[in-house]
């Protein structure tokens, strides 16, 4: 590595040290107090099947959520993907992304995540069983990603997300950022490092016409009056993710990726993940992983209350006349709820 590249790595690591300070400042009193939880919902069947260690191995459009530094490692000039997940409590998560190589400038990516809640009955104090009306919340996350290869080993990237949440006539919006770095062949061929600081941004706050309420103040002879409730702001779920993995290549047909990932959460207990992906001829893939949080408190049965468990999945990637078509499936076991099923279609050319 040249001295210039080494200085770049040192500067980047110092930057990550500064940016990760808020994430490392978590304490038990802050657990569960952050909003914008849609930022923590993973996307892509391959990433879900491997877990947090996906930040080491994913590249192109598939890497935007896990570590934006992986975007610049895409194999094709243009990639597009669409993913659908059945999340908790019948919530659907739709995700789409497009990535384009822009020559020496770097690589650009565009992504959109949308949550589908279905129709929910409107209830009020006067009608706790429902008014007969229904509503459906709208949660959208629109992302713009930039990534660049500094050397053949080092890539960096950043994503700016525009968040929009709407419930009835109340809405909130905000901007958050993800930044990441990947270092491949870290002194040993196949040894890889990934670091990302995610969901950095100012507080969000709901506002809208539903904040105005009518109150009967007849007791002090003022009658009916309208006043506005002041809503409290909420912070972003900032977290620091670190992954370390090894990618041995047995021969031209068989390869393996294994990794361990750690996520330090600002408003949740820390999480660990181990995952692996086996590839045969770069066409057929088998994946699996396990995620755990040893510091999470116990439930009423005395068991660890962390709801996520093992993961698994498979995929087929095939080159058709220079166009790579991919289909991947991922599954994540969940306590107390049905498991998450994820399907992803992708194309690269």
Exposed e or buried b per residue across 178-187, where buried means at least 16 C-beta atoms within 10 angstroms of its C-beta: bbbbbbbeee
Please determine, for residue 233, whether its predicted confidence score (pLDDT) is greater than 60. yes
User: Shortest CA distance to 161 belongs to which of 171, 146, 173, 176?
Assistant: 176
Q: What is the CATH number of the domain that holds 27?
A: 2.40.160.40
Domain coverage including residue 74: 3-348
* Phi (first) and psi of residue 26, to 5 degrees: -65, 150
Measured CA to CA, the distance from residue 159 to residue 178 in angstroms comes to 5
Q: What average pLDDT does this structure show over 224-241?
A: 88
* Phi (first) and psi of residue 316, to 5 degrees: -130, 125
pLDDT in tens, 81-124: 999 999 998 999 999 999 999 999 999 999 999 999 999 999 98
Q: Are 210 and 36 in contact (CB under 8 A)?
A: no
pLDDT in tens, 153-187: 999 999 999 999 999 999 999 999 999 999 999 88
- All residues at 6 or more sequence positions from 103 whose CB lies less than 8 Å from its CB, including other chains: none
DSSP 181-227: EEE-S-SSTTEEEEEEEEEE---B--EEGGGEEEEE-GGGT--EEEE
Q: What average pLDDT does this structure show over 315-327?
A: 95
CA dist list (Å): 145 to 77, 113, 166, 202? 16, 14, 24, 19
pLDDT in tens, 262-303: 999 888 889 999 999 999 999 999 999 999 999 888 877 778
How much is the pLDDT for 222? 60
Measured CA to CA, the distance from residue 191 to residue 258 in angstroms comes to 10
Query: Model-level pTM?
Result: 0.89
CA dist list (Å): 98 to 81, 141, 209? 7, 14, 36
Measured CA to CA, the distance from residue 140 to residue 133 in angstroms comes to 23
Q: Give 7-16's long-range contacts (Cβ < 8 A, gap of 24+).
A: 8/150, 8/154, 9/150, 9/154, 9/183, 12/156, 12/181, 13/181, 13/195, 15/179, 16/179, 16/181, 16/195, 16/197
Q: Strands, DSSP E only, in the chain?
A: 78-86, 92-101, 107-116, 120-121, 134-135, 138-149, 154-167, 170-183, 191-200, 207-208, 212-216, 224-228, 239-246, 254-265, 271-280, 284-292, 308-320, 323-334, 340-348
Give the DSSP letter of residue 21.
Answer: H
Strand partners, 280: 254, 284
Structural domains in the chain (count): 1
How much is the pLDDT for 246? 95
pLDDT in tens, 6-61: 555 545 554 555 555 554 554 556 677 788 999 999 999 999 999 878 888 899 99
């Amino acid at each position: 590595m040249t001295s210039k590249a080494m200085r770049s790595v040192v500067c980047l690591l110092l930057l990550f040290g500064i940016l990760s300070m808020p994430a490392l400042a978590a304490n038990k009193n802050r657990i569960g107090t952050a909003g914008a939880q849609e930022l923590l919902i993973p996307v892509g069947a391959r990433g879900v099947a491997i877990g947090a260690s996906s930040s080491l191995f994913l590249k192109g459009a598939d890497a935007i959520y896990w570590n934006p530094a992986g975007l610049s490692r895409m194999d094709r000039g243009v990639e597009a993907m669409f993913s659908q997940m059945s999340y908790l409590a019948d919530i659907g998560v739709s995700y789409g992304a497009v990535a384009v190589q822009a020559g020496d400038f770097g690589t650009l990516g565009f992504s959109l995540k949308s949550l589908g809640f279905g129709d929910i009955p409107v209830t009020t104090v006067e009608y706790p069983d429902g008014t007969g009306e229904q509503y459906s919340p709208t949660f959208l996350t629109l992302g713009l990603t930039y990534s660049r290869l500094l050397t053949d080993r080092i890539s960096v990237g950043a994503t700016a997300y525009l968040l929009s949440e709407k419930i009835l006539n109340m809405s909130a919006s905000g901007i958050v950022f993800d930044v990441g770095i990947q270092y491949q062949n870290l002194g040993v061929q196949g040894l890889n490092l990934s670091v990302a600081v995610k969901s950095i941004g100012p507080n969000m706050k709901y506002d809208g016409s539903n904040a105005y309420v009518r109150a009967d103040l007849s007791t002090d002879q003022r009658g009916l009056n309208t006043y506005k409730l002041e809503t409290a702001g909420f912070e972003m779920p900032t977290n620091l993710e670190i992954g370390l993995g090894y990618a041995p290549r047995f021969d031209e047909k068989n390869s393996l990726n294994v990794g361990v990932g750690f996520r330090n959460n600002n408003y949740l207990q820390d999480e660990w993940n181990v995952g692996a992906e086996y590839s045969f001829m770069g066409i057929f893939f088998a994946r699996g992983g396990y995620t755990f949080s040893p510091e999470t408190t116990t439930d009423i049965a005395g068991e660890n209350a962390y709801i996520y468990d093992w993961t698994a999945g498979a995929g087929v990637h095939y080159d058709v006349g220079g166009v790579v078509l991919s289909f991947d499936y991922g599954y994540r076991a969940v306590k107390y709820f049905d498991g998450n099923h994820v399907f992803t279609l992708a194309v690269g050319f």
